[in-house]
């Protein structure tokens, strides 16, 4: 059966500066989803990382569905009203437009979605980051899906031995969505050369070359103006399927023990490529 996993994440207000949402804010967003979703969703889960609230929604309506995105947007707007009433820091700051359109892409929130054929048991991992950019996941994804020193399944399992296809976006390209597709292990060095510049090249998704199924998706966006100002690209979310044709849960978690440096330092990804080069 086809199932869609949708993650929609935004900063709509926090206590103590950019630290954490208030309890009332979280409960308002949670209650709005539960009380207004009807039969739209299969399930939902609310979490937060730093000052960002993340909605994980499961449904059968495909990616970019207007009704699902409308539900999430309305829930975040309801939370924003509470944030303003409570005088929270940065109330509604990631909601850069007032009126909802077709979906929330380009309206401020981070979005990562994946439509899959659900397996009898469908394990997946959901990662959320605050005050950094989408390139923060470059190294963990490279190690998990391309490095057999991290992922022995790449040389031990026939389901992984054919490797993975990386879809990489040039997030500084302003004319269009410049997307580069490279396969591991044949183009391993080319993948590494791009992902070593996480300010410019960001993994958008990863696909199994054995089954053709999608393995991972990142809330990637170009570093260009949205709604008239530079916003909506911090705080990425990552969704990864695990086991069978994908690395095991342990192989996917192991790269995060490296503790690699990422952009941000509690102030967002404020370093542009030209400044970084200097």
Of the listed ranges 124-128, 177-181, 252-256, 262-266, the least confidently predicted one is 262-266
CB burial of 128-166 (b: ≥16 within 10 Å; e: otherwise) equals: bbbbbbbbbbbbbbbbbbbbeebbebbeeeeebebbbbb
Express each pLDDT in 89-147 by its tens digit: 988 887 776 666 767 776 778 899 999 999 999 999 999 988 888 889 999 999 999 99
Stated pTM of the model? 0.89
- Write down the pLDDT at residue 98: 66
Q: Is the peptide bond before 185 cis (omega within 30 degrees of 0)?
A: yes
**% of the chain with per-residue pLDDT over 70:** 85
For the chain, give every residue range classified as CATH 3.30.70: 2-114
Q: Does domain 2-114 have CATH number 2.20.25?
A: no
Express each pLDDT in 185-221 by its tens digit: 999 999 999 999 988 899 999 999 999 999 999 998 6
Between 163 and 262, residue with greater pLDDT:
163
């Amino acid at each position: 059966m086809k199932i869609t996993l949708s993650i929609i994440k935004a900063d709509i207000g926090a206590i103590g500066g950019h630290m954490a949402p208030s309890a009332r804010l979280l409960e308002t967003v949670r209650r709005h989803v539960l009380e207004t979703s009807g039969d739209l969703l299969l399930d939902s889960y609310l979490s937060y990382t730093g000052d960002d609230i993340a909605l994980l929604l499961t449904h059968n309506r495909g990616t970019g569905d207007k009704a699902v995105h409308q539900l999430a947007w309305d829930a975040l707007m309801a939370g924003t009203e509470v944030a303003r009433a409570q005088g929270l820091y940065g109330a509604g700051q990631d909601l850069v437009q007032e009126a909802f359109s077709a979906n929330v892409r380009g309206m401020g929130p981070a979005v990562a979605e994946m439509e899959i054929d659900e397996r009898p048991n469908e394990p997946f991992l959901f990662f959320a980051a605050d005050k950094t950019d989408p390139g923060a996941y470059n190294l963990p994804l490279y190690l998990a899906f391309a490095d057999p020193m991290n992922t022995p399944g790449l040389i031990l399992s026939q389901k992984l031995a054919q490797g993975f296809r990386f879809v990489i976006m040039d997030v500084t390209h302003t004319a269009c969505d410049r997307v580069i597709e490279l396969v591991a292990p044949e183009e391993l060095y080319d993948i590494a050369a791009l992902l070593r510049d996480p300010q410019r090249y960001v993994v958008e998704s990863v696909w199994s070359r054995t089954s053709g199924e999608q393995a991972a998706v990142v809330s990637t966006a170009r570093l260009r103006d949205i709604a008239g100002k530079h916003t909506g690209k911090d705080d990425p979310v990552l969704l990864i399927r695990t086991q069978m044709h994908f690395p095991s849960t342990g192989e996917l978690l192991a790269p995060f023990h490296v503790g690699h440096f990422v952009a941000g330092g509690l102030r967002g990804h404020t370093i542009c490529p030209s400044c970084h080069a200097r």
